[in-house]
Amino acid sequence: MQWLVLRLERLVEKLMAVALTLIVVLIFSNVVGRYVLGASFAGAEELSRLLFVWLVFLGAILTLRRRAHLGVELVQARLPRWARKICAVATHVLTLYALWLFLAGSWTQTQIGMGNYSTVLRFPNAFIASAGLVCAASMLLIIGANLLKILCNHPDAVMAGDPPADATQALASGHAAGAAR
C-alpha cells in the first residue's frame, strides 16, 4: 500500500512540473508574440489559468500529505498526550466536515460546468471545478486515514504538538549514547 502512495506522490509531482512548465512556456511565448510579432495566442490565458488552478490544488494535496502546511502548535505541544488526542480528534472531525462541504460544492460546480464552456478554447468549465473535487476527495482520505490511526493509537498517527519523528529518534539515540558512556 505504501508503494502505491509513493507512486501517486511522484505522479502528482510530475503533473505539477508539467503544468508549471506549460504555464511558463505559454505566458512567455504570449508576451514575446505580443511585443515582438504583434500577435498572440488567444487561448494562452485560459489554458494557463486552468493549469494554475490544477497546480495549486495538486500542491495543496501534496502539502497535506507531507504535513507541510503552516500551523501553530505552541499550545498543543504543552498539553498532555490525552488532551492533544482530544484536540486532534476534534480538529480532524471539523476538518472532515469542511472538506465534505468543499467536496459537495465542487461536485455541484463540476455539474454546472459541464454545460458552460470557456470563451476562447471552448473546454468545459467543469475542468476547473473538478480540481476542487479531486483535492477535496484526496484530502478527505488523508485526514480520515490519520484520524483512524489516532483513534486506534497507531504509532504512525500524527497529532499537533507531537515532536517531529526525526527529533524523537535523535533524542532516543542521544539518550542511548549518554547511557552507554
pLDDT tens figures, 32-88: 998 888 888 888 999 999 999 999 999 999 999 988 887 778 888 888 989 999 999
In a domain, 95, yes or no: yes
Q: Which pTM value belongs to this model?
A: 0.83
Which contacts (CB < 8 Å, 24+ apart) does range 2-10 have? 5/65, 9/62, 9/65
Instruction: Give the pLDDT score at 74.
Output: 81
Please classify residue 65 by burial: count the beta carbons closer than 10 Å to its beta carbon, then call 0-12 exposed, 13-18 middle and 19+ buried: middle
In a domain, 133, yes or no: yes
Provide the sign of the torsion angle of the four alpha carbons 48, 51, 54, 60, taken in this order: negative
Is pLDDT above 90 for 177? no
In a domain, 170, yes or no: no
In a domain, 171, yes or no: no
Per the structure, how many domains does the chain have?
Answer: 1
d(CA 177, CA 181): 7
The more confidently predicted of residues 175 and 159 is 159
**What is the domain extent for residue 26?**
2-162
Instruction: Give the pLDDT score at 162.
Output: 81
In a domain, 24, yes or no: yes
In a domain, 147, yes or no: yes
Is pLDDT above 80 for 175? no
In a domain, 176, yes or no: no
Instruction: Give the pLDDT score at 165.
Output: 65
Q: In sequence order, what are the residues at sequence separation of 6 or more whose Cβ sits closer than 8 angstroms to the Cβ of residue 122?
A: none
In a domain, 180, yes or no: no
The candidate with the shortest Cα–Cα distance to 84, out of 168, 171, 150, 170, is 150
| Tally of residues, the chain | 181
- Span 113-150, pLDDT tens digits: 999 999 999 999 999 999 999 999 999 999 999 999 99
Q: In sequence order, what are the residues at sequence separation of 6 or more whose Cβ sits closer than 8 angstroms to the Cβ of residue 84?
A: 76, 159, 160, 161, 162
Q: What is the CA radius of gyration of the chain?
A: 22
Model confidence at 14, in pLDDT bands (50, 70, 90)?
A: very high
